[in-house]
Amino acid sequence: MKKTLLIFSILLMAFGASSQSVTITESAGWLETAFVKWQPLDGVESYNVYYSGEGITDQKIDNQLVRNYGTYFRADIMGLKAGQYTVKVVPVISGVEGTASETSGLTILAQDRTGFAFSNNRVPGAYKADGTPKDNAVILYITENTKNAVSLNVTGANSNPCVGIQTILDGFKKGKDIRPLIVRLIGQISDMNYMLGGDIVIENDNNTSSYITFEGVGDDAVADGWGVRIKNASNVEVRNIGFMNCNSDEGDNVGLQQGNDYIWLHNCDMFYGDAGSDADQAKGDGALDCKKSTYVTFSYNHFWDSGKCNLLGLSEGTTSGLYITYHHNWYDHSDSRHPRVRFYSAHVYNNYYDGNSKYGVGSTEESSVFVEANYFRHCKYPMLTSMQGSDVYDESKQANDYKNMPTFSSEDGGTIKAFNNYMTDQRRFVPYGDSNYPNSTTDFDAYVVSTRSETVPSTVKSAYGSNTYNNFDVDNSVMYSYTPDSPEDAKTNVMQYAGRVSGGDFTWTFDNSVDDAAYAVNAGLKSALTAYKTSLVSIQGDSVATGGGNTGGNTGGGSSSGDMVQNFTVSGTESSFYNISGNLSTSKGTVIYNDLTLTQCLKIESSTSISFTTTESGIYTLVFNDSFSGKIYIDDVAYNAASGVITTELTAGSHQVKKGDSANLYYMSIAYNTTEVSTPETTEISLFPNPVSDKLQIRGDATLQKVEVYSLSGMLLKQSIGSNNIVDLSSLHSGSYLVRVNTNQGVSNQIIFKK
């Protein structure tokens, strides 16, 4: 029994099934998002998910937010203002909704929009201050299968449409398109075909009216093998993404380069990158660096044993106008740079320093750093000022041999102001003027104040460079409003909310007895990260299973025709239906077809042979490079490709494919005409043209009631209600589809091919 026929037989049986409701297994509110999980039902082609609350009733979420994980489904509702909500999950059978299941009340919390990124009434990113999308926002969904095919017309782009996410961002680079842009990553996304030095780069020419959010969906969005760079950009937000195995040219998970302002990066998981060339890059280059940028907030990020977390400043050469906030970050057994500061005025508060083998906050090159209400647990040196205090302390070396002893820097010092920090199990911390330490008025780590508003006197200077603190934190013309947690509450809140939704899908338990003091690569953690594969199976609205970053997805986009689908990227020449001999190649370009990313082809040469036998008539499709318009012989008849595709109807019997012109064949399939299963009541309906480019017309004497368009894997893609006899298929990719026509005289199912 052919798999396609089986799928649609099941589908048809479901049409007469009684209403079913799903069993919700888990639901919760989060930071301006909510999620719901449920058990899958047999015979259900899709699920509709609705939310209600805060003045909204039964708002349907986008299909791409509904995902299949095999043993359960999950939907994430994004862009919610704080408040109380309920979520309904409704199974869809034959285009008709079944019985809804509803969650209990869910509490949605507001994001913590605090820090320099929100100065001067700015709200970085494409969401409003209440968490809902800004007016006229464009939302793009990026999956492993669509990352190279997603397209958008962008004002000011060199050419339109822009295809592929980096090309779209290149269009926004000029700052001419001021529509708020939300880019949502779903699942584990590996390198795109087109990137910039192995990174995705976000720019908008510092247009103050441009807003961009780059975010992950749910708890398992992963940038696998690549990083994000931001340059010459304003009003950018990056959130809820796990960065792992980054091997880009720059080597940073995320890097703010020159010319940025009003940037907010939060709730991301920062994992190991690939080892760099330097000895201190064994865990990757940097996790989250910032250079020549201002009005920045880094908050609620989780750093997993990072070697170098936060480099701040490089060659700015000035202390004027450089402001940044670090708050509620979890430095989880990371080693150093939390942050390591040059030149900047930096507010570092309410972070959790959790077993740090080298140091916490470091100040150099005239920087002024206010370190407030942080929780330091077994951080070797909580605070360091370059070339003085604990930075040059080593009882095993000769006194005053400073240039050979610095822990983290031989540069001139800055100044740290410290207030209300909790420390335990540190090796050493020297407050200014502490009588327990000799020369502590010149050889100190930080100036500790008794109240937040206390200023640091100009007489307090760094040992090297004689630099003073600028007291930015008590300057009302500069400083923002905020209410810090106590260090103990900060630790609790960080552990609950830092990183991706609900802490993300990756779990790891550190051994404090070993990992607190270790700064080498954790072999077990490294192995777990390089072996990581998403458990995501498929995405509603994205008809191809993602399969853990496997380019090309499942065979035939769900194996809709069983062995009659040949995806050379996935299966090579192996098939139990086709007899194939010939040479494969991965260097002939990439083809996007039916949401599949095809990267391996069979070279059609004189020696290439393809033969097969069909038991009944059906539609035969061959997919080549998009630009191919040459000829191929099928049963000794010449066929010319149109836009890289040949489709024809074959009768039952033996068939053979031979070279006409040299070509590269990426995919082929047979869809038997008996897939046109009808219910007992049938009606004479004709569909034309077939193949169709955009508009499909329906002819027949019966009265139209409803037209449904399905993928061959059984997913409902389009639906029109009423008597309109023209269906717009322009949004569908090239490929074969089943059209189900409902009339007052019965139902007709027919296969059509979309060019």
Three-state SS at 249: coil
User: 420: part of which helix (H) or strand (E)?
Assistant: none
CATH number at residue 371: 2.160.20.10
User: Which of 108, 133, 159 represents a domain boundary (last residue)?
Assistant: 108
Domain boundary among 501, 520, 541: 501
**DSSP three-state, residue 159:** coil
Residue 49: band (very low, low, confident or very high) from pLDDT cuts 50, 70, 90: very high
pLDDT value at 16 more than 70: no
Clarify whether residues 147 and 91 are in a common domain: no
Range in 409-413, 440-444, 546-550, 628-632 with the lowest mean pLDDT: 546-550
- Report whether pLDDT(210) > 90: yes
pLDDT at 271 over 70: yes
Q: What is the mean pLDDT of residues 149-154?
A: 92
For residues 355 and 397, membership in a common domain is answered with yes
525: helix, strand or coil: helix
More confident residue, 652 or 182: 182
Collapsing DSSP to helix, strand or coil, 6 comes out as helix
Whether residue 509 lies inside any domain: the answer is no
Burial zone of 285 (CB within 10 Å; 0-12 exposed, 13-18 middle, 19+ buried): buried
Is position 567 within any domain?
yes
DSSP structure string for 445-513: SBEE-SSTTPPPPTT---TTT------GGG-TTTPPP--PPPHHHHHHHHHHHSSSGGG-S------HH
pLDDT at 395 over 70: no
Cβ pair 87, 47 in contact under 8 A: no
pTM for the whole thing?
A: 0.73
Burial 476-487 (b: 16+ CB within 10 A, else e): eeebbeeebbeb
Quick one: 406 and 297 in the same domain?
yes
Residues 84 and 146 grouped into a single domain: no
Residue 294 placed within a domain: yes
* Residue 19 binned pLDDT confidence (cut-offs 50, 70, 90): low
- What gap in Å lies between CA 246 and CA 145, rounded to an integer? 20
Q: Which pLDDT does position 152 carry in this prediction?
A: 93
Q: What pLDDT is attached to residue 262?
A: 98
Residue 731: closest CA among 754, 752, 702, 697: 754
Percent of the chain with pLDDT over 70: 90
Percentage of the chain beyond pLDDT 90 is: 71
Least confident of 260-269, 597-606, 735-744: 735-744
Strands 162-163 and 151-152: antiparallel
Mean pLDDT of 725-747: 80
Has residue 746 got a pLDDT over 80? no
Res 535: pLDDT: 95
**pLDDT band at residue 541 using 50, 70 and 90 as cut-offs:** confident
Q: Please give the residue range of the domain that contains residue 66.
A: 3-108
Q: What share of the chain is helix, strand, coil (3-state, %, to 5)?
A: 10, 40, 50
* Residue 11: pLDDT over 70: no
Q: Under a CB-based contact definition with an 8 Å cutoff, are residues 715 and 652 in contact?
A: no
State the Rg of the chain over Cα.
30
Out of 109-118, 571-580, 674-683, 701-710, give the one with best mean pLDDT.
Answer: 109-118
Q: What is the pLDDT of residue 563?
A: 46
SS3 category, 63: helix
Q: Are residues 143 and 195 in the same domain?
A: yes
Integer Cα distance of 144 and 152 in angstroms = 18
Evaluate if residue 546 carries a pLDDT over 60.
Answer: no
539 lies in a domain?
Answer: no
- Residue 466 is which amino acid? S
Model confidence at 2, in pLDDT bands (50, 70, 90)? very low
Last residue of a domain, one of 672, 692, 710: 672
Query: Which tops the pLDDT comparison, 123 or 705?
Result: 123
Out of 251-265, 393-407, 495-509, least confident range: 393-407
Instruction: Map residue 32 onto helix, strand or coil.
Output: coil
* φ, ψ for residue 308, nearest 5 deg: -130, 105
Comparison of pLDDT for 743 and 549, the residue scoring more: 743
Q: How confident is the model at residue 406, as a pLDDT?
A: 85
Q: Does residue 192 carry a pLDDT above 50?
A: yes
CATH of the domain at 104: 2.60.40.10
Whether residue 657 is found in the same domain as residue 694:
no
Eight-state DSSP code of residue 221: -
β-pairing, 695-699 vs 726-728, is antiparallel
| Average of per-residue pLDDT across 197-218 | 98
**Greatest mean pLDDT among 142-151, 421-430, 744-753:** 421-430
Q: What are phi and psi of 705, to 5 degrees?
A: -115, -40
**Same structural domain for residues 268 and 292?**
yes
- What is the spatial distance between Cα 199 and Cα 411, in angstroms, rounded to a whole number? 31
Scored b (16 or more CB within 10 A) or e, 717-733 reads bbebeeeeeebebeebb
Residue with tokens 């095999």: 70
User: pLDDT-derived band of residue 716, with 50, 70 and 90 as boundaries?
Assistant: low
The CATH number of whichever domain residue 712 belongs to comes to 2.60.40.3080
Q: Looking at residue 561, what is its pLDDT?
A: 31
Give the CATH number for residue 561.
2.60.120.1360
pLDDT digit string, tens, across residues 339-361: 999 999 999 999 999 999 999 99
Are 264 and 237 spatial neighbours (Cβ–Cβ below 8 Å)? yes
pLDDT at residue 399 is higher than 60: no
Q: Degrees (nearest 5) of the Cα angle 614, 619, 624?
A: 105
Q: Is the separation of the CB atoms in 37 and 72 below 8 Å? A: yes
pLDDT at 150 over 60: yes
In a domain, 493, yes or no: yes
Q: Are residues 234 and 139 in the same domain?
A: yes
Place of tokens 């998910």: 49
Residue 127: which of 139, 119, 116, 115 has the closest Cα? Answer: 139
Residue 326 CB contacts under 8 Å (≥ 6 apart), including other chains: 298, 299, 310, 338, 339, 346, 347, 348, 349, 351
Residue 525 in any domain: the answer is: no
With a cut of 90, say whether residue 690 has pLDDT above it: no
Our count of domains for the chain comes to 4
Q: Place 144 in a pLDDT band, splitting at 50, 70 and 90.
A: very high
Same domain, 124 and 235: yes
Q: How far apart are the first and last CA of the chain?
A: 28
Measure Cα distances from 160 to 149, 156, 204, 359, 452 in Å: 13, 9, 17, 50, 54
CA distances from 587 to 582, 601, 625 (A): 15, 9, 12
Cα(525)–Cα(505) distance, rounded to whole angstroms?
Answer: 14
Shared domain for 645 and 748, answered yes or no, is: no
Q: Is 617 a residue whose pLDDT tops 90?
A: no
> Do the Cβ atoms of 148 and 597 come closer than 8 Å?
yes
Residues 645 and 729 in one domain: no
- Asked if pLDDT for residue 609 goes beyond 70, the answer is yes
What per-residue confidence (pLDDT) applies to 670? 84
Q: How confident is the model at residue 362 (pLDDT cuts 50, 70, 90)?
A: very high
What's the whole-number mean pLDDT along residues 413-435?
97
- Upper half-sphere CA count for residue 732 (Cβ side, 13 Å): 28
Contact assessment for residue 707 and residue 700, using Cβ atoms and an 8 Å cutoff: no
pLDDT band at 711 (very low <50, low <70, confident <90, very high): low
Contact 484, 372 (CB under 8 A): yes
Is residue 88 pLDDT above 90, yes or no? yes
Query: What average pLDDT does the structure give for the chain?
Result: 89
Are 454 and 586 members of one domain? no
Q: Is residue 38 part of a domain?
A: yes
Residues in the chain, overall count: 755
Whether 507 is in a domain gets the answer: no
pLDDT at residue number 61: 96
- Per-residue model confidence (pLDDT) at position 560: 27
Largest CA distance in the chain: 101
- The DSSP string of 272-303 is -----SSGGGBTBS-SEEE-SEEEEEEES-EE
The whole-number pLDDT of residue 7 equals 43
What's the confidence (pLDDT) of residue 549?
28
Question: Which pLDDT does position 595 carry in this prediction?
Answer: 61
User: Does residue 64 surpass a pLDDT of 60?
Assistant: yes
User: Is pLDDT above 80 for 184?
Assistant: yes
User: Looking at the predicted structure, is the pLDDT value of residue 269 above 50?
Assistant: yes
